[in-house]
Amino acid sequence: MSRRSGGVRRVEEPTSVPRTDDAWWRNERVALTVLAGLVSFAIYEASREPGSSIYDQYVRLAYSLLHGKVYILHPKPWLELVHYKHHFYSHQGVLPGILLMPFVAVFGEGFNLKHFAALLGGGIGAVAWSVATRIGLTGRDRLLGWAFPVVGTTLWYEAKTGSTWGVAALSSAFFLFCALNEYFGRRRLPLVGLFVGLAALSRPPAVFAVIGFVVAVVLSPEARANIVGGAKKGLQLAAGVIGPVVVYVLYNELRFRTLFDKSQQLHYLHDAYRLQVAPGQFALAHLPYNLYSWFLLPPSFQNNFPYIHLTILGTALPLTSPAFVTAFGARRERWLWLAAVCAVGPAAFHYANGFSQFGMRYLLDAVPFLSMLIFLALKDARAYGYRVLLAASIAINAYGVAYTTVFGLK
């Protein structure tokens, strides 16, 4: 039996056929999904930089949470923290710190954050494979589609580096992929909203991706035929976000005795690298440079080996992941573009472009949606030139991983 929903044909197993063995490892779809996750994890773990990450705010936050504190118990001078009323706080999303609590409980405050980054990367690989399977990609196309987010974007760099900022981006991308997997699967709308909310607990701007999902649900043919039903679906989606919002508000109340997050503004006012860039933390005046960074900023070309030198400001998306342009070949689920733009929109007006990065870290919240569009383009045989562009993307990101491990960023 098959049915169409949201423009994507989904195939369901006949419920009348009895199952004699429910072991997951004998279910080919599940086994391949797990294998895709393990391969992704192995790639990231094998290519990670030697040693532990010194930028391990999340490990320290997890340690503090285990001891009933929301401030960092053992701050170090090199950590990017904010100071408020005699305590130091992380200004990153709280969820990775919560997820790390079991690891820190077992391995202590010395747990290497890079292992957790690789684990998140493995999760991204598994869910990316799952959602590609859900929309009907098979064989070589599914493998090629899966390769884009895993080794064709700077998620690879962030996973191998294992810094606080990279872990936040990986966690956000993972849960946004989970939201897409649920939407194109069983479509339990409260779960879709929950996953978007969890992404926002990693990187707050990701919450705006819910706008795309709401548009997809409310403006679907079924919703237009039944306005009341469409409104209910929109409310179900929004309801899923409430839980993470409550956690976010509680976290702010415990830190700052206010419902709102003061940490970003505090960090901006004391940014050691770009102190109080005029005219403010968020402003229209920052848009031109951010757009230049996202789409035009090149590496440095020099006469000495290895000739292409990566700078600390990062490299534009078309130069790190040129395969993203094949997303324009998708002719279905156009709301994915809206979700991608909404997820990264606030960063377009931010005073800094991300800094200390290989690619544009703030654009990684859009990668799940761009990947989904690429999957759809592959499914409809409209991903023109994808194999060549994917090969280029993988080669560039492999270079970035190797270069930054050997030379670092200047």
> Over the chain, what HEC string results?
CEEEECCEEEECCCCCCCCCCCCHHHCHHHHHHHHHHHHHHHHHHHHCCCCCCCCCHHHHHHHHHHCCCCCCCCCCCCCCEEEECCEEEECCCCHHHHHCHHHHHHHCCCCCHHHHHHHHHHHHHHHHHHHHHHCCCCHHHHHHHHHHHHHCCCHHHHHHHCCHHHHHHHHHHHHHHHHHHHHCCCCCHHHHHHHHHHHHHHCHHHHHHHHHHHHHHHCCHHHHHCHHHHHHHHHHHHHHHHHHHHHHHHHHHHHHCCCCCCHHHHHHHCCCCCCCCCCCCECHHHHHHHHHHHHCCCCEECCCCCCEECCCCCCCHHHHCHHHHHHHHCCCCCHHHHHHHHHHHHHHHECCCCCCCCCCHHHHHHHHHHHHHHHHHHHCCCCCCHHHHHHHHHHHHHHHHHHHHHCCCC
Q: Domain limits at 79? A: 25-406
Q: Is residue 59 a part of any domain in this protein?
A: yes
Q: Is residue 156 a part of any domain in this protein?
A: yes
Q: Is residue 9 a part of any domain in this protein?
A: no
Q: What pLDDT sits at residue 401?
A: 97
Domain count, the chain: 1
Does this model's pTM top 0.85? yes
Q: Is residue 86 a part of any domain in this protein?
A: yes
Q: Is residue 298 a part of any domain in this protein?
A: yes
Q: Is residue 11 a part of any domain in this protein?
A: no
Q: Is residue 4 a part of any domain in this protein?
A: no
One digit per residue, pLDDT tens: the chain, 410 residues?
A: 444 444 554 444 443 344 444 565 678 889 999 999 999 999 999 999 999 999 999 999 999 999 999 999 999 999 999 999 999 999 999 999 999 999 999 999 999 999 999 999 999 999 999 999 999 999 999 999 999 999 999 999 999 999 999 999 999 999 999 999 999 999 999 999 999 999 999 999 999 999 999 999 988 777 666 777 778 888 999 999 999 999 999 999 999 999 989 999 898 888 766 556 778 889 999 999 999 999 999 999 989 889 999 999 999 999 999 999 999 999 999 999 999 999 999 999 999 999 899 999 999 999 999 999 999 999 999 999 999 999 999 999 999 999 999 999 87
Q: What pLDDT sits at residue 231?
A: 81
Q: Is residue 54 a part of any domain in this protein?
A: yes
Q: What pLDDT sits at residue 2?
A: 47
